[in-house]
Amino acid sequence: MALFPFTLALAFAMMTALWPLSRWLRHVSIIDILWAPAFAALTALCAVLVPVRGVRGWIVLALVTVWAARLGSHIFWRWRHVGHEGYRYAEIRRKHRASFPLTSLF
């Protein structure tokens, strides 16, 4: 089974769904929080579409999920406590002023 169309659609849907929230908050760094959990979601989708066989597959699924939870929570904690956008996004915002809303989507 070709997984690429399904994983691409899920990744696109997750990132695009979060974009309006980042615009409303005026804080694009919130999207960074989703990156690691997105890998866990994509791994879970693959495990559903092509059922996991054997212990090794379940270990990989568990490790990706634990890694995603740890990294996602770390980035969330940092986002909540730092209080400003990361320097990368501030530079992109400065560089693309008027077109930043669309630039931040892509």
pLDDT (0 to 100) of residue 71: 95
pLDDT (0 to 100) of residue 74: 93
Q: Is residue 2 part of a domain?
A: no
> From CA 76, how far away is CA 3, in angstroms rounded?
29
Q: Is residue 21 part of a domain?
A: yes
Which residue range is the domain that position 47 belongs to? 9-105
Work out the number of other CB atoms within 10 angstroms of the CB of residue 39.
17
Q: Is residue 59 part of a domain?
A: yes
Estimate to the nearest angstrom the gap between the alpha carbon of 68 and the chain centroid: 10
Q: Is residue 75 part of a domain?
A: yes
Q: Is residue 22 part of a domain?
A: yes
Full-model pTM: 0.78
Q: Is residue 3 part of a domain?
A: no
Q: Express each pLDDT in 40-59 by its tens digit.
A: 999 999 999 998 889 999 99
Q: Tell me how far CA of residue 1 lies from CA of 25, 33, 44, 58, in angstroms.
A: 39, 30, 15, 19
SS3 27: coil
Q: Express each pLDDT in 68-88 by its tens digit.
A: 999 999 999 988 888 777 788
1 — pLDDT class (breaks 50, 70, 90): low
Number of domains, the chain: 1
> From CA 45, how far away is CA 84, in angstroms rounded?
33
